Amino acid sequence: MTIPYSCDTITSPVNPRVRQAAGLREADARRTAGLTLVDGRRELSRAAAAGVTIEEVFVASEHPPADLADWLADLAGRGTRLTPLAERPFAKIAFGSRNEGVVGVVRFAPLSLAQARFVADRPLLVIEGVEKPGNLGAILRTADATGLGVIVCDGRTDPANPAVIRASLGTVFTVPLATTIVAELLPWLRTNDRRVVAATPEGTTPWHASPLAGRTAILLGSEAHGISPRWRQAAAADEIDFTTVSLPMRGAADSLNLSVTAAVLAYEAIRQEEMTA
């Protein structure tokens, strides 16, 4: 089976369509267009399986992924444009070292708190300061594996960043996920009756001795700065139900990797669920 391309091979790396796609690496361009770039077979498959609209797939025409021909034909049948690119324009939109021959343009933007659909009685991971796309991607993989939702509330990190999508292995499309800011999140937590359990080095309760299952919001600050002061103010003003937990830090370093902390707490929540099930 051959790939049913929609047009001839684009050979120029300054072709307007290629430049527009490459521009989706910038957050502003993504927001304006409501589109993002998805690099990789597995990631694109998960987007499609999750019902995300795949507007266009650029295919490396000099090394076409033959085993994907059926799948690409199926996408074309549902309206996806298949565009062959020569090596130089393809390199412009693909991630350098992990080229898998397909890069898609998909309709995807993070949901708001009001739009997202979370499971009411299971924990959420609330990520306040995520410095690296790779960390958010790893957290989304953990959320996928544990069936938890994720709220990103730092006002900066865009889960639609192609580097996040890639690091998440496409789970960003399937995990219940919202982006918000802390001023919106505080009243939402109260309305939704969610207890906040914050992981901080100063936490007095060991992570496994605090109830993490049920209607919790497991809060993680940045590796460098921890959680923002607004949380303790809200706790002091009784705006939220707020407790802290700590993980042992017995060594030379003073912080854990953010995605590691998220995973330890997510799986501890699952353990507690399984113990009481």
Binding site for a copy of itself (CB under 8 A): 46, 49-50, 134, 138, 141-147, 169-171, 174-175, 206-208, 247-253, 255-257, 259-260, 263-264, 267-268, 270-271, 274
Strand partners, 84: 59
Least distance in angstroms from the C-beta of 206 to a copy of itself:
7
Least distance in angstroms from the C-beta of 138 to a copy of itself:
4
CB closer to a copy of itself, 219 vs 256: 256
Least distance in angstroms from the C-beta of 166 to a copy of itself:
13
- Cβ–Cβ under 8 Å, residues 175 and 150: yes
Cα dist from 56 to 13, 61, 64, 103, 207, whole Å: 17, 15, 16, 8, 45
- Distance between CA atoms of 209 and 235, rounded to whole angstroms? 20
Instruction: Report helix, strand or coil for 113.
Output: coil
Least distance in angstroms from the C-beta of 226 to a copy of itself:
16
CB closer to a copy of itself, 90 vs 207: 207
| Tokens at 172, concatenated | 């960003």
CB closer to a copy of itself, 53 vs 174: 174
> Residue holding tokens 């306040």?
128
**Does residue 89 come out as left (phi exceeding 0), alpha (psi in the -120 to 50 range) or beta?**
alpha
Least distance in angstroms from the C-beta of 264 to a copy of itself:
4
- Distance between CA atoms of 35 and 38, rounded to whole angstroms? 10
Least distance in angstroms from the C-beta of 160 to a copy of itself:
17
- Cβ–Cβ under 8 Å, residues 84 and 9: yes
User: Which of these, 118, 109, 104, lies nearest to 41 by C-alpha position?
Assistant: 104
- Distance between CA atoms of 21 and 14, rounded to whole angstroms? 11
CB closer to a copy of itself, 82 vs 270: 270
> Residue holding tokens 């998960």?
46
CB closer to a copy of itself, 91 vs 145: 145
In degrees and rounded to multiples of 5, residue 81 shows phi and psi of -85, 130
Least distance in angstroms from the C-beta of 106 to a copy of itself:
16
CB closer to a copy of itself, 59 vs 164: 164
CB closer to a copy of itself, 59 vs 266: 266
CB closer to a copy of itself, 50 vs 73: 50
Least distance in angstroms from the C-beta of 5 to a copy of itself:
29
Q: Kindly report the number of other CB atoms within 10 A of residue 218's CB atom.
A: 26
